[in-house]
Amino acid sequence: MNEAFSRIATASSNWLGKPVSFIVSGLLIIIWAVSGPFFHYSDTWQLIVNTATTVLTFLAVFLIQNSQNRDGMAIQAKLDELIRVSQLARNDLVRAEEKTEDEIEMLRIHDSGDN
């Protein structure tokens, strides 16, 4: 199930990030707005766009967050590998993203030479 969700999340975030998605969304809003007089600007007419945008935004947040989490983990894995293979790198920086704020601040201070 995790793998299926990851595939859906990746495909969705790729699709949502394309200009055509923005254009289609804009066109749908224009069509909705133009249809207002036909429906006499009814409560149902307003509810349609409110509900659709709320549901789509809610779902998109989870899909995009999943993609960003995986991207972040991949970047961290690559950076960790570069630290491991570099003779001059400090090994205490590997997995720095898992340290507390205070520990990260100490790494930063130690790196800059400040005391």
Q: Taking the model in full, what pTM does it have?
A: 0.61
Tokens of 39: 């429906």
Q: How do the domains of the chain map onto residue ranges? A: 2-112
2-23 pLDDT per residue, tens:
888 888 888 888 888 899 999 9
State phi, psi for 36 to the nearest 5 degrees: -55, -50
pLDDT at 96: 81
Shortest CA distance to 94 belongs to which of 70, 77, 109?
77
pLDDT at 47: 94
